[in-house]
Amino acid sequence: MGAPPNVDGGRWDPRTRLALFYAAHFGHMGVVLPFLPLWLLSLGLDSVGIGLLVALSPLSKVLAPWTWGRLADRTGRRRGLLVASSLAAAGALSAVAGLTTLGPLVVGVGLYAFCVAPALPFAEATALEQADARGFAYGRVRLWGSLSFVAVAAASGAVIGGIPGRTLLYAASAMLALGALAAWGFPAPASEGRLTPIGSGSAGAARSLRDPSLWRLLAACGLMQAGHGPYYAFYSIRLETLGYGGAAIGSLWALAVICEVLLLTRIDVGVDRLGTAAVLRLSLVAASVRWALIAIADDPLLLAAAQALHAVTYAAFHVAALREIHRRFRTGDRATGQALYSGLTYGLGIFCGTLGAGLLAERIGLPSLFGISAATSLAALLVLGRPRAQASFA
């Protein structure tokens, strides 16, 4: 499929800018997600401190994206806010690299988390609008972020023993700055440059928020992400306790995202064919199997199989939920809709899961922790209910 004309008058197809943003943003996550907990452990922090610091990122997504999202929808300055917040996050992460004690780390990581929180909701709103307008597949743009995550996680794992951990955080900061540069060239939303009256912009969102099925969907998404909390905080540490080194840890993280990339090339077709509700249920079942495998396995083949399920538990689930949220909000409220989804799922859900994991890890052990994750995913399946209860899903 050829590149559509750039109606915004710029020299680059918007898919290129979006792909660059995703590559830079998820590249920085390829450092932060796998190796921030290990760096914190090297500073001498205990599991409660590590759990608290890792939980600050999802906690910030509870309120920060909602605040940023309403500001973007009401002012029409989504693009400028995305650039500013990404640059501020880059500066905060650079400052974190120089800290060593819990108190200052809480402040620094909290500032970074607050500033980086709106990046993906804003980018997702833009990507889905452009996919609708220009007729391209969202997944084929989004996969560049996954490819970048794979490359950076693998490279970071290979060098983590030979360079200071703070050097990796500086590299992650540079990637955030690159993402801000890419976002500066994003196509403008229809409302860009116009102040939207507060009353007019909120009416459509209010109608969407009164739908009980929306809250059932968000509750299930939140439980799904709560089940991911132990994974983000303690998966690398779990592997280290099993005797795996930095290169193997990075490779297992990378394997998960390689499988994600492969699925993203066809996920739009799959969601169209099966429907969002069926894809969400399938993903929840796969998540319960994945966490159970991590809880009981030490064999590399079984651990690799668990990571391969990431394609379904993250990519398929995320795209199905994202498209369902996009459908439920009108154009002028979509930054708000994506921010609400991000805040309650990747924010509140992961915060509860991560903080709970930090409090329980030393008491019940990491295998039992991942067993709780498996049970949480099954609970989310119950919240979604039986198929006939989800007739409103596209």
pLDDT of residue 308: 95
Question: Bigger pLDDT: 317 or 325?
Answer: 317
**Alpha carbons 2 and 135: distance in angstroms, whole number:** 11
Buried b (16+ CB within 10 A) or exposed e, 269-293: ebbeeebbbbbbbbbbebbbebbbb
pLDDT of residue 281: 93
pTM exceeds 0.85 for this model:
no
Residues 345 and 225: beta-carbon distance below 8 Å: yes
Residues 329 and 208: beta-carbon distance below 8 Å: yes
What CA–CA distances, in Å, run from 10 to 5, 6, 16? 10, 6, 11
Question: Bigger pLDDT: 34 or 391?
Answer: 34
**Alpha carbons 341 and 344: distance in angstroms, whole number:** 6
**Alpha carbons 349 and 227: distance in angstroms, whole number:** 8
Question: What percentage of the chain has pLDDT greater than the value 70?
Answer: 84
Q: What are the structural domain ranges in the chain?
A: 14-186+206-387
Phi/psi at 137 (5° precision): -85, 125
Evaluate if residue 394 carries a pLDDT over 60: no
pLDDT of residue 381: 93
pLDDT 10s digits, 108-158: 999 999 899 888 878 887 888 888 778 787 878 888 988 898 888 888 877
What CA–CA distances, in Å, run from 252 to 140, 150, 153, 177, 294? 23, 10, 9, 27, 12
pLDDT of residue 176: 95
pLDDT 10s digits, 361-390: 889 999 999 999 999 999 999 998 765 544
Label residue 293 by pLDDT band (50, 70, 90).
very high
CATH no. for 14-186+206-387? 1.20.1250.20
Evaluate if residue 91 carries a pLDDT over 60: yes
Q: Which of 126-135, 165-174, 296-305 has the lowest mean pLDDT?
A: 126-135
